Amino acid sequence: MKQVATVVLVTGLLGCNQQPKKESKLTNHSDKMVQIDSALTTKKAHYSKYHISMDTLFFATETGQTVKYEKDDFNYIVDNHPELFIENPDEPDQSFYCNSGNGEFGSEAGQDNYYILYAYLLKQKNGIDNNQKMRKKLIDIYANINTLFSRFQHGGTYFGHQYARIEGYAEYSVYIYLQSKDHIEKTYNITKQKEFYIKSLRQLIDDESKIDHATFGNDKIALSKELNKIVDNLNNLITDNFYLRRAQEFQYRHYQYY
């Protein structure tokens, strides 16, 4: 249910701006079909500069996973998923749901792979070395939030898939920062706001503990300590307004339970 709700939320609020296919109406108009074929050929030619010539592309994720793509497979993605190579990328959920619901990225594991590839490609645009500290901190923030809610729910496949997709969310956050860093206005001290956010997480731990009927006695006490340690980590990681806002956005967008 959570994943279905997320799909509805993202596609409903963000929109895909996809145009309906018109090929079927042009079956008897060869001149127009030629125009369409020509446009598609031009579009593919534009992105062909991203084709690889090596037999296999290898790259490592920020979480230590090794990913590989055979040349034909990667070049097929270049030709069929230009949204991964555009100058101004959409955020990863919109990019995925508007372009990749079927085919090679259609399964849950396929969606994981899409976000991993999305992060890898956007990282090249953002700059790898110059933004590594920010990238790592964002991944750590998102991973801690994901772990916290995973423990509230006593696990589940959703959180495992989220962990695989975190790099995509983090890389887009790096992109947002780079696009807006010269126009940041909210430079005030965030001590109080951060304090309220951290307190809200600790209150959530207390409230969840009261309705947790799967953990008892010393195990419940130990779990509470473990969860508060996660919040301690977040408290240390959130060092300015940008990280606070990204943490809040990530939590409120992906972890709503009733």
Q: Which amino acid is at 209?
A: S
Grade residue 28 by pLDDT with cuts at 50, 70 and 90. Answer: very low
Grade residue 257 by pLDDT with cuts at 50, 70 and 90. Answer: confident
Q: Which of 97, 91, 132, 130 is nearest to 111 (CA)?
A: 97
Q: Each residue of 136-188: pLDDT tens digit?
A: 999 999 999 999 999 999 999 999 999 999 999 999 999 999 999 888 888 88
Per-residue pLDDT at 44: 60
The pTM for the full model equals 0.85
Contacts of 237 (CB under 8 A, 6+ apart): 137, 140, 141, 144, 243
